[in-house]
């Protein structure tokens, strides 16, 4: 939803609310009461609701996540020129939408997963503005990364199902799908953001010829 | 009538201020905008709406 819809509704609402506030005598008439009801109750609630929805959508954007200084290294890690860096590979090859890269991998693809992700995001905001900000390399996931998030996209894909390393033994794919064998912590795809060692890395320059 | 007039005036001003804050928060995609929207804009609008509801309910004779 575009922010313009909020602006288009909010602008006349402001005028009505201001008019009703400054000319309260007008509300003695039936038309005035109706105008006050719309301008001081219905439209403000609609505006706040649409604005909230817009803010929540914006909170899913990569730009939003990387606004905080502590996330700078994580943003840089998306441009590392090394195929072993899982986030970089996903970002550079558009396996995830670039404008929603953080959210796409760090939300939970389960019931109420979006709500949980939003609550975690709110917690991050509280820490950013009111808490003690940790060093970038000290930031850890709340719980081990669940294969469910990877399988949300990769499950059923030929490149995943028929990859040679996945077929080394009969149990690998079954264990991965059951989250018994982590995609990341089993020395398979265990290079992620690695923000502590980025100064030695080379970076991909987008649109470089 | 004087009291409800004053309540409506405050209600209108609170709603107006809240909506202006909410609109300003849409100018930038930034966590601070998000916080200001939730922490300032929404409470101001809620206070204005609440005051309006309180004023019309307090004037209703049962």
Q: What is the ipTM of this complex?
A: 0.91
Q: Does pLDDT of A209 surpass 90? A: no
- Residue B49 pLDDT level (bands cut at 50, 70, 90): very high
Q: Does pLDDT of A96 surpass 80? A: yes
Assess whether A69 and A52 both reside in one domain: no
Q: Which domain holds residue A10?
A: 3-58
Instruction: Please give the structure tokens belonging to residue A129.
Output: 């503005």
pLDDT for A2 equals 77
CB contact under 8 A, B26 and A61: no
Q: Does pLDDT of A26 surpass 90? A: no
A68 touches chain B (CB under 8 A): yes
| Number of separate domains in chain A | 2
Q: Which residues of chain B have a CB within 8 Å of the CB of A41?
A: 49, 52-53
List Cα–Cα distances, A168 to A66, A117, A173, A183, B53, in angstroms: 38, 35, 9, 15, 68
Assess whether A38 and A139 both reside in one domain: no
The shortest CB-CB distance from A24 to any of B9, B34, B53 is to: B9
pLDDT for A181 equals 93
Q: Are A166 and A160 in contact (CB under 8 A)?
A: yes
Q: Using CA coordinates, name the residue in chain B closest to A20.
A: B12
List Cα–Cα distances, A38 to A17, B8, B12, B13, B51, in angstroms: 9, 13, 12, 15, 14
The answer to whether residue A173 is domain-embedded is no
Instruction: Please give the structure tokens belonging to residue A40.
Output: 């001081």
pTM for this prediction: 0.85
The answer to whether residue A48 is domain-embedded is yes
pLDDT for B1 equals 55
The answer to whether residue A155 is domain-embedded is no
Q: Which residues of chain B have a CB within 8 Å of the CB of A5?
A: none
Distance from CA of B61 to the nearest CA of A (A): 16
Q: Using CA coordinates, name the residue in chain A closest to B5.
A: A24
Q: Which of A58, A73, A103 is the last residue of a domain?
A: A58
Instruction: Please give the structure tokens belonging to residue B17.
Output: 């201020």
The 3-state secondary structure of A137-180 reads HHCCCCCCCCHHHHHHHHCCCHHHHCCHHHHCCHHHHHHHHCCC
User: Residue A191 phi/psi, 5° resolution?
Assistant: -100, 110
List Cα–Cα distances, A164 to A147, A151, A160, A167, A186, in angstroms: 19, 17, 9, 5, 16
- Residue A81 pLDDT level (bands cut at 50, 70, 90): very high
The answer to whether residue A208 is domain-embedded is no
Q: What share of chain A is helix, strand, coil (3-state, %, to 5)?
A: 65, 0, 35
* Distance, CA of A160 to CA of A195 (rounded, Å): 27
The answer to whether residue A169 is domain-embedded is no
* Distance, CA of A44 to CA of A50 (rounded, Å): 10
CB contact under 8 A, B29 and A22: no
The CA-CA-CA angle for residues A93, A190, A80, to 5°, reads 40
Assess whether A188 and A99 both reside in one domain: yes
Assess whether A50 and A17 both reside in one domain: yes
The answer to whether residue A116 is domain-embedded is yes
CB contact under 8 A, B23 and A7: yes
Assess whether A117 and A131 both reside in one domain: yes
Distance from CA of A80 to the nearest CA of B (A): 25
pLDDT for A136 equals 92
Q: Which residues pair with A203 in a beta bridge?
A: A80
* Distance, CA of A1 to CA of A54 (rounded, Å): 7
Assess whether A101 and A33 both reside in one domain: no
- Number of Cβ within 10 Å of residue A134's Cβ equals 11
Residue B19's nearest CA partner among A121, A58, A85, A12 is: A12
Query: Residue B58: which residues within 8 A CB-CB, separation 6 or more?
Result: B3, B4
């Amino acid at each position: 939803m575009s922010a313009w819809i909020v602006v288009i509704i909010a602008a006349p609402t402001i005028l009505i609310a201001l008019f009703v506030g400054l000319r309260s005598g007008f509300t003695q008439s039936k038309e005035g009461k109706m105008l006050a009801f719309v301008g001081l109750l219905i439209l403000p609630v609609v505006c706040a609701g649409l604005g909230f929805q817009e803010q929540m959508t914006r909170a899913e954007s990569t730009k939003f996540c990387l606004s905080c200084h502590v996330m700078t290294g994580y943003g840089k890690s998306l441009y590392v020129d090394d195929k072993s860096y899982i986030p970089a590979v996903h970002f550079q090859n558009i396996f995830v939408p670039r404008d929603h890269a953080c959210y796409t991998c760090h939300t939970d693809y389960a019931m109420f997963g979006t709500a949980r992700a939003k609550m975690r995001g709110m917690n991050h905001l509280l820490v950013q503005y009111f808490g003690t900000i940790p060093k970038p390399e000290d930031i850890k996931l709340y719980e081990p990364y669940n294969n469910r998030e990877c399988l949300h996209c990769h499950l059923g894909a030929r490149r995943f199902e028929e990859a040679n390393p996945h077929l080394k033994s009969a149990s690998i794919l079954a264990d991965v799908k059951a989250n018994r064998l982590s995609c990341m912590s089993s020395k398979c795809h265990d290079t992620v953001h690695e923000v502590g060692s980025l100064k030695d890395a080379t970076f991909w320059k987008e649109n470089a010829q | 009538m004087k009291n409800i007039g004053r309540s409506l005036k405050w209600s209108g001003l609170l709603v107006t201020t809240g909506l202006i804050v909410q609109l300003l928060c849409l100018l930038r995609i930034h966590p601070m905008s998000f916080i200001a929207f939730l922490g300032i804009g929404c409470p101001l609008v809620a206070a204005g709406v609440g005051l309006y509801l309180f004023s019309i309910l307090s004037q209703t004779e049962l």
